[in-house]
Amino acid sequence: MSEVDGSVSIIADVDNGPWPQLRRVWRVLRIVIHLLWGFMLALLLGAFWWPQQPRVLAAKQRWCQRFLRILGAELTVTGTPLGGSVFLVSNHVSWLDIPVIASQRHLYFLSKAEVGEWPLIGQLARAVGTLFIKRGSGESGGKAREIASRLQQGHTVLVFPEGTTTDGTGLRRFFAQLFDAPLLASTPVQPLAIRYLDGMGAPDTATAFIGDDEFHHHLWGMLLRRELRIRLHFCEPLEADRDRKGLCEQARERISQQLKG
């Protein structure tokens, strides 16, 4: 990972032959060790009981940076992250979006409830203060108030307003209910655009985690790749000075413009 330009690198094409298979096995071992270390670190820091400690947030960021290095990721970051308490919204392509964005700043996530049931990863997600929501459960109003409370405490929270993942070539409709959170907390909104690219700079749709994909199968395939390139752009922030529908639509438009670029 480059400390100068904010870059980390993941490769998009798959190798064949015995050496890539050995590399994949080596990466699996390193990931298992890294997950176990994350669990032990969470215990040592008291993250399961006090996830909002500053030292827990800092450790989470370093842990995610290390995780990307294990995967061999190349991440290029553009734009300027807004400081202070921010309501972040991003397009959603893969489970990998979370460690990518968390490697760049201290924040909390709103994640689908299923993630909380994943072995080890679910426990780690809870330890770092992740909020969970059941899709189609009608919980959006309550979660917006819970997010607003986090924002009012000076924290930053990231949501994926599409409510699901896509192949990265476009955007689904954004759900506006969660945009009540920045309005309640009088907190700015910063859209993020995340793209996974192949060696030619075109969208790498094979990276998408969609449909009936299972986490362990998706990760197993990713570990065989030589390279995975990721671009993350921090768009210009929006002030929470309009109704939630207008705020939602403007955030979606800013992300859409970046995905077309």
pLDDT in tens, 83-140: 999 999 999 998 889 899 999 988 998 887 777 777 777 777 777 778 888 766 667 7
Look at 201 and 67; give whichever has higher pLDDT. Answer: 67
For 159, the enclosing helix (H) or strand (E) is strand 157-159
Query: What region does 212 belong to: left with phi over 0, alpha with psi -120 to 50, or beta?
Result: alpha
- Could you read off the pLDDT of 208-252 as tens digits, one per residue? 887 666 777 777 777 777 778 999 999 999 998 889 999 999 999
Q: What is the dihedral of CA 219, 119, 162, 175, to 10 degrees?
A: 180
Q: Which of 8, 24, 27, 189 is closest to 99 using CA atoms?
A: 8
| 181 close to 148: Cβ distance less than 8 angstroms | yes
Query: Has residue 5 got a pLDDT over 50?
Result: no
**Could you give the domains of the chain?**
8-260 (3.40.1130)
pLDDT over 70 at 13, yes or no: no
Residue 133's pLDDT is 80
Q: Which amino acid is at 30?
A: R
The per-residue pLDDT for 3 is: 36
Q: Binning pLDDT at 50, 70 and 90, where does residue 179 land?
A: very high
Q: What percent of the chain has pLDDT over 70?
A: 89
Q: State the pLDDT confidence band at 188, using cuts at 50, 70 and 90.
A: very high
pLDDT digits (tens, 9 = 90+) for 17-59: 556 677 778 888 998 899 889 889 988 988 888 877 888 888 8
pLDDT on residue 206 = 79
Residue 199 in contact with residue 12, Cβ under 8 Å?
Answer: yes
Cβ neighbours around 80 below 10 Å, total: 11
Give how far Cα 47 sits from Cα of 123, 168, 216, Å: 11, 33, 25
What DSSP element (H or E) covers 246? Answer: helix 244-260
Least confident interval from 5-9, 127-131, 160-164, 232-236: 5-9
| Distance of alpha carbon 60 from alpha carbon 128, whole angstroms | 7
Residue 90 belongs to what H/E stretch?
strand 87-90
Q: Residue 16: its pLDDT value, please? A: 54
Distances in Å between the Cα of 171 and the Cα atoms of 56, 164, 182, 194, 251 are 33, 10, 22, 11, 12
Mean pLDDT of 174-195: 95
Cα 7 from chain centre: 16
134-146: pLDDT as tens digits? 766 667 778 899 9
Q: What gap in Å lies between CA 130 and CA 238, rounded to an integer?
A: 24
- The band of 8, judged by pLDDT with boundaries at 50, 70 and 90, is very low
Task: Return d(Cα 88, Cα 161) in angstroms, integer.
Answer: 10
